[in-house]
Amino acid sequence: MTSKTIDTKILDLRVIEADEDKAKQLRCENGSKLYFCKRLRVVDGEPFSIELSYFNKDIVPYLNEYIAKTSIYSYLIDDLKLPISFADKIVTCEKINEDMAKLLNVIPGDPALIIENTVCLANGTVFELSQSIFHFQKAKILNRINFK
């Protein structure tokens, strides 16, 4: 197996206010402060995926470009000591829009694999919503099921 070079490009990182939809999904108040982070994952120089993430600022009080470029989850677990417990994932396929197609170097209307995550702490508190949009020719899913 060959080693791959993985790079992360930060396309957007800012604090926004939760609209009605995001507030409902994150189980927070309308207008709550959220970090919005848009990243492009590049593997061996080729665009691989786009990640759109929303973090509840009441739980993730600080996020900067360095953290977003290296590892948000290392920061959440190692520095903030968040007891991250589980994520609900919804996997779909959709036709990609023009903006996302440009980032992934595909044609608008091509298929994309999309994984939506709702991530919770051990007490069930939702702290992150994210959507990962994958290049249809490069995406693979491994689903491991353990039987006892």
**Across all residues in the chain, what is the average pLDDT?**
93
CA 21, CA 80: separation in Å to the nearest integer?
Answer: 27
Q: Is residue 143 part of a domain?
A: no
**Inside any domain, residue 45:** yes
Residue 147 maps to a domain: no
SS3 labels along 55-106: EECCCCCCCCHHHHHHCHHHHHHHHCCCCEEEEEEEEEEEECCHHHHHHHCC
Q: Based on the structure, what is the number of domains in the chain?
A: 1
**3-51, pLDDT tens digit by residue?**
789 999 999 999 999 999 999 999 999 999 999 999 999 999 999 999 9
Partner residues linked to 119 by β-bridges: 87, 128
In a domain, residue 108? The reply is: yes
| The two three-digit tokens of residue 30, written as one number | 């309308």
Position 1 in a domain: no
CATH code for the domain in which residue 56 is found: 3.40.1410.10
Host domain of residue 94: 6-135
Assess contact for 14 and 64: CB atoms under 8 A: no
